[in-house]
Amino acid sequence: MTVTVVGIGADGWDGLSPRARTAVERAELVLGSPRQLGLLPSGIEAEQRELPSPLREGLASFAQEAGSRPAVVLASGDPFLSGIGSTLLDVLGADAIEDVVPAVSSVTLARAAMRWAAESTSWVSLVGRDAYRLLRHLEPGARLLVLVSDTTTATHVAAILTAAGFGESRITALSDLGSAEESRRDALARMWHGKTPPLTVLAIECDGPGPWWSRTAGLDDDAFENDGQLTKRDVRASALARLAPRAGELLWDVGAGAGSVAIEWMRAHPRNRAVAIERHPERAARIRRNAERLGVPELEIVEGTAPEALGDLPRPDAVFVGGGATREGVLDAAWEALVPAGRFLAHGVTIETESLLASWHDRHEGGELTRISVEHAEPIGGFTGWSPSRAVTQWSAIKR
């Protein structure tokens, strides 16, 4: 099967380039959403089909059925901007895509409508995604373009902004961009109400006291709801430095506690993934709340006890064992699952865990054994003195 992917905007057939029109006119099969197919003129002779559901399985079946017949898949605007283009690549492979004819994306049209430069604007897709992922982008003065999922997304976004202390943010709903029905609506987040048309981009100018959180590792401990089982700020910053998150990698956070390491790992890059393994149900629920509040609702939480809970998980690029290291088989199972050249880090605060980590340091040459002790200034009567936190032993290594 050979596929041409054609981007089509809200302006429909009239907005297509000659190259895009020719591809549709020569096709024997045209696949698209009901709205996209409805934009084609009546003279198109190709067989027209709606996008299958579930999408991935349906596309694979469609490719087999189509055989060598020339086909066009319609996309909204730019096929590779939160569009079907990436899904087609994953399912069919690059060799099956003969050509791609993009249209102007809704993000580009929205920037033009707002007079916002690309270099000073971020965009976030909430299509099929949790709206709480927006929270990681909030900071005073930020300009955000948000692709909505449905007619109620704007109301949900406004409520999230207001609850996060950004109720003074101005929301502009830009709907049906590029079409004759194009419309605009403006309101502060705290005053927003009502639905929007389905094809809407929200332009948000962030304003409000926050709180807002740093993009670097080592968020304030108060950023995390916790019951005391928390990798503290200074030690956490050291842990993230050794785990060295890279775009698109997967972390296991074993004995996650409040989930702080997994959450900061995911905040390091939008494509980062993490699994938090926690055996206590109340802590697992707390991790979920922390992940949502800090803008990484996609964090996967496994409620169970290691090493048994690790068996069916995808292999990680990095492992952090923050609790339960002395439980039989935990370190062995996590180390075995780690990919080659992956990073491994374990913490201990008891003599028993320190002894275990020292033995692992002996077994794996090239690892690093560190003991971190942090002291904070606190009042002592009318004076000030140093109050030490519990020392943490840290063993890190790269799997060779």
Tell which wins on pLDDT, 353 or 61. Answer: 353
Overall number of domains in the chain: 3
Among residues 80, 104, 128, the one where a domain terminates is 104
3-class secondary-structure state, position 360:
helix
Between CA 17 and CA 294 the distance in angstroms is 43
Residue 325's identity, in one-letter code, is: A
Tell which wins on pLDDT, 149 or 280. Answer: 280
Q: State the CATH number of the domain containing residue 116.
A: 3.30.950.10
Q: State the CATH number of the domain containing residue 260.
A: 3.40.50.150
Same domain for 176 and 235?
Answer: no
Identify the band that residue 1 occupies on the pLDDT scale cut at 50, 70 and 90.
low
Mean pLDDT, residues 83-93 taken together: 91
Lowest mean pLDDT, pick from 37-46, 151-160, 276-285? 37-46
Q: State the CATH number of the domain containing residue 52.
A: 3.40.1010.10
Sign of CA dihedral 379, 382, 384, 390: negative
Paired with 170 in beta bridges are: 188, 205
Mean pLDDT, residues 156-182 taken together: 96
- Helices 84-92, 55-66: crossing angle, 10 deg rounding: 60
Q: Quick check: is 212 in a domain?
A: no
Same domain for 148 and 34?
Answer: no
Mean pLDDT, residues 60-85 taken together: 88
3-class secondary-structure state, position 156:
helix
Mean pLDDT, residues 3-25 taken together: 94
Mean pLDDT, residues 207-228 taken together: 93
**Domain of 164, in residue numbers:** 107-205
Same domain for 89 and 125?
Answer: no
Between CA 37 and CA 48 the distance in angstroms is 7
Between CA 228 and CA 301 the distance in angstroms is 19
pLDDT exceeds cutoff 90 at 304: yes
Say what percent of the chain tops pLDDT 70.
100
Same domain for 34 and 173?
Answer: no
Q: pLDDT tens, 120-151?
A: 999 999 998 999 999 999 999 999 999 998 99
The answer to pTM > 0.85 is yes
Same domain for 295 and 335?
Answer: yes
Say what percent of the chain tops pLDDT 90.
88
Mean pLDDT, residues 73-94 taken together: 92
Placement of tokens 């959450």 in the chain = 263
How long, in residues, is the chain?
A: 400
Same domain for 236 and 90?
Answer: no
